[in-house]
């Protein structure tokens, strides 16, 4: 226990002298890095605009309220598109994620040194790039529209679903697999009767969870031209039609809240 002496009496300390020195150096470096970052941000900012911000915010608020309620008649199709992008994207991604997950899980992968790293590479690279970037790329390749959005969401979700799924596969109970193997089942039968029933609840949970996230992401995909309600948002922003923007934001908020509620309900029923 670190103890220091003050006026002849021993006083308890949390850290030894070396430890506290180490902590101070760490904090000093941290503060210096932050100060540098802040200075860079500050240099790149026009501070006049920032001081003017409260007035601008008030101005936008007065322009945006009340929302243009009659515009909602034109939002039906975009919302339907958004729902389709999220749902079809999730389905495609699940179809792709299942084999990747089985190849990536330590206990089911056919080869630990060649195929498993490849599967992990697929998982990392699809996961670390945002769906908006995938959408940008796909629009350049296959043209703007809902289809690009579906594919972007699908690719982005593969890594996420496969990662969670392979972790679920690695955590299965081996005794059940052994029991099925002992009956003389083939490799595929072991998979179907020993492994799949164990990961089914996790799979359903992941699917609904990702669907919820995808609804959120697909609402903004239109900003880069990949269909859905984001298209209307960017069109309204471009012509500075703030009442329409306000209504679209409200609709997006409602969609997000509803999807989160649905996913929480379904996950609650499964688990």
Partner 1 sequence: MSSELQALIGKNWKKPPFIQRPWLRWAFILGFVVYLIAAFLTIDVNWSRVYEGLERGKQFVLAFTSPDFTSRSGDIWEGMLESIIMTVAASVVGIGISIPIALGAARNVAPLPVYLICRGIIAVSRALQEIIVAILLVAIFGFGPLAGFLTLSFATIGFLSKLLAEDIESMDKVQAEAIRASGARWTQWINYGVQPQVMPRLIGLSMYRIDINFRESAILGLVGAGGIGATLNTAFDRYEYDTAAAILIMIIVIVMALEYLSGVIRARVQ
Binding stretches for partner 1 (CB under 8 A)? 30, 33-34, 36-38, 40-42, 44-46, 49-50, 53, 56-57, 60, 77, 80-81, 84, 87-88, 124-125, 128-130, 132-133, 136-137, 140-143, 145-147, 150, 193, 200, 216, 219-220, 223-224, 237, 249, 252-253, 256-257
Task: Please report which residue ranges of 171-241 form alpha helices under DSSP H.
Answer: 174-182, 187-190, 196-221, 229-238
Least distance from C-beta 83 to partner 1, angstroms? Answer: 8
What is the smallest separation between the CB atom of 266 and partner 1, expressed in angstroms?
11
The residue ranges of DSSP E strands in 18-177, in sequence order, are: none
- Closer by beta carbon to partner 1, 30 or else 110: 30
Number of Cβ atoms within 10 Å of the Cβ of 218: 32
Q: How far is the CB of 216 from partner 1 (least distance, A)?
A: 6
| 9 φ/ψ sector (left φ>0, alpha ψ -120 to 50, else beta) | beta
Is the Cβ–Cβ distance between 93 and 155 less than 8 Å?
yes
Tell me the sheet residues that pair with 6.
Answer: 9
Q: Which is nearer to partner 1, 110 or 173 (CB)?
A: 173
Tell the smallest beta-carbon distance from residue 48 to partner 1 (Å).
9
Cβ-in-10-Å burial (0-12, 13-18, 19+) of 224 comes to: buried
Residue written as tokens 């409602």?
254
Closest to partner 1 by CB, 8 vs 62, is 62
Nearest to 215 by CA among 196, 199, 230: 230
Closer CB to partner 1, 28 or 57, in the complex = 57
Instruction: Provide the minimum distance between the beta carbon of 56 and partner 1 in the complex, in angstroms, as a whole number.
Output: 5
What's the rounded Cα separation, in Å, for the pair 22 and 88? Answer: 53
Q: Which is nearer to partner 1, 25 or 35 (CB)?
A: 35
Least Å distance, CB 221 to partner 1, is: 10
Q: What is the nearest approach in angstroms of partner 1 to the Cβ of residue 136?
A: 5
Distance (Å, whole) CA 87 – CA 121: 25
For residues 72 and 91, which CB has a smaller minimum distance to partner 1 in the complex?
91
Task: State the residue for tokens 């503060």.
Answer: 31
Question: Which of 1/8 has CB closer to partner 1?
Answer: 1
Helices (H) and strands (E) in the chain, counts: 12, 2
């Amino acid at each position: 226990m670190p103890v220091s002496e003050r006026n002849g009496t021993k006083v308890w300390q949390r850290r030894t002298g070396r430890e506290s020195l180490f902590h101070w150096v760490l904090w000093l470096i941290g503060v210096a890095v932050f100060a540098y970052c802040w200075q860079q941000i500050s240099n790149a900012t026009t501070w006049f605009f920032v001081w003017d911000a409260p007035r601008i915010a008030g101005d936008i608020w007065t322009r945006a309220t009340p929302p243009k309620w009659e515009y909602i008649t034109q939002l039906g199709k975009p919302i339907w598109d958004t729902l389709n992008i999220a749902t079809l994207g999730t389905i495609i991604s699940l179809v792709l994620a299942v084999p990747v997950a089985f190849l990536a899980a330590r206990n089911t992968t056919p080869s630990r040194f060649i195929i498993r790293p490849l599967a992990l590479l697929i998982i990392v690279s699809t996961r670390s790039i945002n769906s908006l970037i995938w959408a940008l790329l796909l629009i350049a390749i296959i043209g703007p529209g809902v289809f690009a959005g579906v594919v972007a969401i699908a690719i982005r979700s593969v890594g996420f679903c496969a990662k969670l799924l392979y972790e679920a596969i690695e955590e299965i109970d081996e005794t059940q697999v052994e029991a099925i193997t002992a009956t003389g089942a083939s490799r595929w039968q072991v998979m179907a009767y020993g492994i799949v029933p164990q990961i089914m609840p996790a799979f359903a949970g992941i699917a609904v969870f990702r669907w919820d996230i995808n609804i959120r992401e697909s609402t903004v995909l239109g900003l880069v031209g990949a269909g859905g309600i984001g298209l209307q948002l960017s069109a309204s922003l471009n012509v500075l039609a703030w009442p329409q923007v306000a209504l679209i934001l409200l609709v997006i908020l409602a969609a997000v809240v509803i999807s989160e509620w649905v996913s929480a309900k379904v996950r609650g029923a499964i688990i």
